[in-house]
């Protein structure tokens, strides 16, 4: 049996990934021109399938970049003249804030302790803030912010554009795109693909803001500006030669997911998450790091580890199950377990049984 | 028989590409962590093989981005405070200049008419220029600038950093890296891979310049800064999750090319180029666009087409041979034929025979 990756990205490939890759090779998609009808049809298909899967309305465009990290930069350059606001509760939301500092966007931040979330009704955001940056699923600590809370944030702050990093949660969370101006994610998490593609979903207000900033003389960058994205998108092209094969495959995987049904996918993830948290609640060695249930992520489950995490990680690896260590300073004290659509209920069950066996032998 | 792509990128895949891809899948490289030893060993191997193939000395580091287009931006942000200088003789060198304008780098340009090159001894570059940007092989028009001319440019202008875009020519040209501070290329040209990876090769002066600009308060961007690249490179890591599989495969293809021998690869390309130019010199319908032999590219051969180019392009496509149309306003008047390592002498011969047959039937 091949090892199974429960790592929080790169992660287990979606079961149909390899067959789509083989078909892409058979179609010679690695050699096709990105300004041809073959490519335009691919982009159109991927756009349709992602739109259906994520429930994206026609107010929003779907663009491609190389990674979510690149997109942090593009979003800040294109949507902020002077001031952004950041919800920081872990390493990745902090990096988004750090990018804003490097790009000299005078960012403000509200910080929650690691493992804790925010109550959006308690947060006051100044009137001069142009962009609010949130991270729905903090991959480093497994803290989740509900879509309802994100929508509330927009209701309370209609003066600012609202952006949410959906890395490690899309397509699991159900987003109300009438409230979210800008979202993005990378494909090596819950879409079960190798890294190399980022997806950006923005509405017309974002594109207009970017054009306005450029007109006013702000440096919005040269590559992947929202204006160049949109201009090319109108004919299902990209500003420059993109990762054609990844754009093809994410469309096919979204199609597979649509056929399975997003509700079924969400139910399965919910079930697997409950299994893992139940294990954590009963375990003496591995307890949930995020205490508040409303902030516990269903897609990246972080457990405190009373034993050096490398011991159980290596033990599980020998059995063919890869899980993640803690992030940064939590490396030895946490386990991070991805719960993405690519792994089955049965596989999650096997993983939990192995962890139980480990605990029994250890205690 | 599968169609053969003589298009100037994306182009024919290198003959060993698919076997390396399959092996990458077998190794589950799509799921591995980019901060693991498995990835570090991949980066190290690719670094070694590219270094050997391109004769890159230890003064230079090798970094990865998503495309050459992205790298235009990164290079300008990291190496220019106030002023860049651009050799423009076609659409792609012009885009490099356009990026500098968008990034507000007060760029200067010297323009050659389409199809013409430069004599570097005739060019005077102001003393306040920080970065000289050249394009060794202008993919839009098939104009080549010799490595000797590039070196001469550095000898004449030691005050500036010298950059050359090697898209559509690396690894064919032999570069003297004691003269070139910065070079870059994408993999969907002469390396015979699908798009999705750019390669950047810079020396210590470039990294120091970037650090100096940041210290002085210039906005050098947040993603893929030269400082973050170098810091990660020292342990064979990347600033963020990269296109792992493409980094693996370019290392394997470089290894294949090293085994074949770069001299043999260059001789084969030279021979195929001579075959094509000989055909053009004898043809009544298809004559070389670049008249000066010293400026004729061996890797992207552009021919004037006395017939609407789409007629012969479609004719050849029906026979299984894809070639490129002219770029931009030359769409109907030019043919662009890629002469990369992925196609054999025999295949080039077949293509030329088909073009001869077409000409005979047409005249």
- Delimit the domains of chain B by residue range: 4-11+261-362, 17-259
CA nearest to B99 within chain A = A222
Residues of A in contact with B9 (CB under 8 A): 241
The pLDDT of residue A62 is above 80 = yes
CA nearest to B11 within chain A = A31
Contact A186 B241 (CB under 8 A): yes
CATH for A4-11+261-362 is 3.90.1150.10
Q: Does the beta carbon of A304 lie under 8 angstroms from any beta carbon of chain B? A: no
Same fold, B4-11+261-362 and B17-259: no
Contact B103 A9 (CB under 8 A): no
Share of chain A above pLDDT 70, in %: 100
Answer whether A158's CB lies under 8 Å from A171's CB. no
Residues of B in contact with A186 (CB under 8 A): 241
The pLDDT of residue A9 is above 90 = no
Q: Does the beta carbon of B58 lie under 8 angstroms from any beta carbon of chain A? A: no
Residues of chain B with pLDDT under 50: none
Instruction: Name the residue with higher pLDDT: A362 or A97.
Output: A97
Element (H, E) at A86: strand A84-88
Q: Does the beta carbon of A244 lie under 8 angstroms from any beta carbon of chain B? A: yes
Contact B241 A70 (CB under 8 A): no
Query: Within 10 Å of residue B135's Cβ, how many Cβ atoms?
Result: 28
Q: Residue A291: its pLDDT value, please? A: 97
Could you tell me the pLDDT band of residue A104, with boundaries at 50, 70 and 90?
very high
Q: Residue B212: its pLDDT value, please? A: 98
Answer whether B155's CB lies under 8 Å from B130's CB. no
Query: What residues of chain B, 321 to 360, have a C-beta less than 8 Å from chain A?
Result: 322, 324
The CA distance from B96 to B107, in Å, is: 10
Contact B196 A13 (CB under 8 A): no
Contact A239 B69 (CB under 8 A): yes
Q: Residue A1: its pLDDT value, please? A: 77
Could you tell me the pLDDT band of residue A363, with boundaries at 50, 70 and 90?
confident
Q: Does the beta carbon of A69 lie under 8 angstroms from any beta carbon of chain B? A: yes
Interface test with chain A among B195, B253, B322, B327, by most A beta carbons within 10 Å: B195
Contact B244 A65 (CB under 8 A): no
Residues of A in contact with B224 (CB under 8 A): 70
Q: Residue B361: its pLDDT value, please? A: 94
Contact B194 A7 (CB under 8 A): no
Q: Does the beta carbon of A15 lie under 8 angstroms from any beta carbon of chain B? A: no
Contact A102 B186 (CB under 8 A): no
Q: What is the ipTM of this complex?
A: 0.97
Contact B5 A28 (CB under 8 A): yes
Q: A17 vs chain B: nearest CA distance in angstroms?
A: 10
How crowded is the C-beta side of B340, counted as CA atoms within 13 Å? 32
The CA distance from B212 to B217, in Å, is: 9
Contact B31 A18 (CB under 8 A): no
Q: What is the Cα B82 distance to its own chain's centre?
A: 26
Q: Residue B46: its pLDDT value, please? A: 99
- Cα angle A267, A268, A273 (rounded to 5 degrees) comes to 95
The pLDDT of residue A34 is above 80 = yes
Tell me the longest C-alpha to C-alpha distance in chain A: 66
* β B300-305/B334-338 pair status: antiparallel
Cis peptide before B135 (omega within 30 of 0): no
Q: Residue B129: its pLDDT value, please? A: 98
Q: Which pair of structure tokens corresponds to residue B168? A: 């559509």
pLDDT tens digits along A139-194 = 999 999 999 999 999 999 999 999 999 999 999 999 999 999 999 999 999 999 99
Q: Does the beta carbon of A228 lie under 8 angstroms from any beta carbon of chain B? A: no
pLDDT tens digits along A235-294 = 999 999 999 999 999 999 999 999 999 999 999 999 999 999 999 999 999 999 999 999
Q: Does the B17-259 domain belong in CATH 3.40.640.10?
A: yes
Residues of A in contact with B65 (CB under 8 A): 66
Query: What residues of chain B, 176 to 205, have a C-beta less than 8 Å from chain A?
Result: 186, 188, 193-197
**pLDDT mean across residues, chain B:** 97
Please tell me whether residue A109 adopts helix, strand or coil conformation: strand
Contact B103 A244 (CB under 8 A): no
Residues of A in contact with B99 (CB under 8 A): 222-223
């Amino acid at each position: 049996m091949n090892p199974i990756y429960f790592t929080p990205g790169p992660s287990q490939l979606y079961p149909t990934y390899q067959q789509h890759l083989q078909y892409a090779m058979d179609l010679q998609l690695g050699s096709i021109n990105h300004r041809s009808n073959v490519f335009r049809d691919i982009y159109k298909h991927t756009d349709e399938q992602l739109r259906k899967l994520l429930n994206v309305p026609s107010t929003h465009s779907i663009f491609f970049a190389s990674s979510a990290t690149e997109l942090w930069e593009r979003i800040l350059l294109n949507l902020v003249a002077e001031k952004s606001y950041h919800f920081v509760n872990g390493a990745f939301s902090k990096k988004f804030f750090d990018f804003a500092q490097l790009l000299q966007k005078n960012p403000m931040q509200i910080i929650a302790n690691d493992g804790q979330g925010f109550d959006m009704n308690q947060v006051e955001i100044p009137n001069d803030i142009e962009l609010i940056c949130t991270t729905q699923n903090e991959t480093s600590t497994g803290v989740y912010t509900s879509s309802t809370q994100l929508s509330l944030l927009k209701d309370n702050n209609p003066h600012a554009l609202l952006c949410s990093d959906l890395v490690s949660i899309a397509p699991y969370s159900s987003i109300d795109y009438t409230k979210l101006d800008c979202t993005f994610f990378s494909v090596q998490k819950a879409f079960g693909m190798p890294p190399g593609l980022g997806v950006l979903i923005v509405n017309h207000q974002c594109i207009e803001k970017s054009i306005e900033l450029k007109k006013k003389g702000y440096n919005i960058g040269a590559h992947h500006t929202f204006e160049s994205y949109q201009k090319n998108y109108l004919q299902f092209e990209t500003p420059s030669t993109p990762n054609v094969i990844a754009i093809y495959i994410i469309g096919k995987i979204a199609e597979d997911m649509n056929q399975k049904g997003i509700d079924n996918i969400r139910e399965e993830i919910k079930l697997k998450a409950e299994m893992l948290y139940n294990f954590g609640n009963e375990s003496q060695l591995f307890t949930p790091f995020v205490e508040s249930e409303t902030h516990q992520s269903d897609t990246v489950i972080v457990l405190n580890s009373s034993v050096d995490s490398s011991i159980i990680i290596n033990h599980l690896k020998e059995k063919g199950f890869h899980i993640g260590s803690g992030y940064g300073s939590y490396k030895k004290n946490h386990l991070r377990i991805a719960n993405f659509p690519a792994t089955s209920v049965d596989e999650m069950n096997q993983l939990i049984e192995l962890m139980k066996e480990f605990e029994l032998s250890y205690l």
